[in-house]
Amino acid sequence: MLDRQNYLKVKLFLKFSRDVHGRSSLQISTDFEHLKALLLWAGSQPISSAPAFNTSLPDFLFQKVEKGLIQSELKSILNTNQRFLLWAKAMFPVEFQNIRLSWIMKIPAISE
């Protein structure tokens, strides 16, 4: 089961990406596909408690690599998730105060 607030934040991020950054419908669709991994990883837990999850996001995605996800796609997914978490930390500073900026910045580097 997915946390509804996580889903709503992802949808808000996608709207922000379209309205503010002018991302195309195709880019928004791709971003949503990438953020589904984050939603699945979080499950019923709030994303704001992500550093405390038992499995890290890269570990969760590496399991998918073994099931056919290619390295370049993994990098793209991690970059999209990093953008989302940076946005979430800026938009919801109190809720996301436990997620350190250094933790977010390490996300895409893990796949290299």
Q: DSSP letter string over 70-100? A: -HHHHHHHHHHHHHHHHHHHHHSTTTTTTS-
**Band of residue 85 on the pLDDT scale cut at 50, 70, 90:** very high
Q: How far does Cα 88 stand from its chain's mean position?
A: 10
**Band of residue 67 on the pLDDT scale cut at 50, 70, 90:** low
**Is 88:96 a contact under the CB 8 Å cutoff?**
yes
- Give the chain's end-to-end CA distance (angstroms, integer): 31
**Can you tell me the distance from the alpha carbon of 34 to that of 67, in angstroms, rounded to the nearest whole number?**
16
The pLDDT score that the predictor gives to residue 83 is 96
**Band of residue 66 on the pLDDT scale cut at 50, 70, 90:** low
The segment with the largest mean pLDDT, out of 13-27, 44-58, 61-75, 97-111, is: 13-27
**Is 22:71 a contact under the CB 8 Å cutoff?**
no
The pLDDT score that the predictor gives to residue 62 is 78
Q: What is the mean pLDDT of residues 68-74?
A: 79
- Residue 112 DSSP code: -
Q: Which pTM does this prediction carry?
A: 0.89
**Is 86:50 a contact under the CB 8 Å cutoff?**
no
Q: Is the pLDDT of residue 112 over 80?
A: no
> 40: which 2 tokens?
């699945």
**Can you tell me the distance from the alpha carbon of 53 to that of 72, in angstroms, rounded to the nearest whole number?**
25
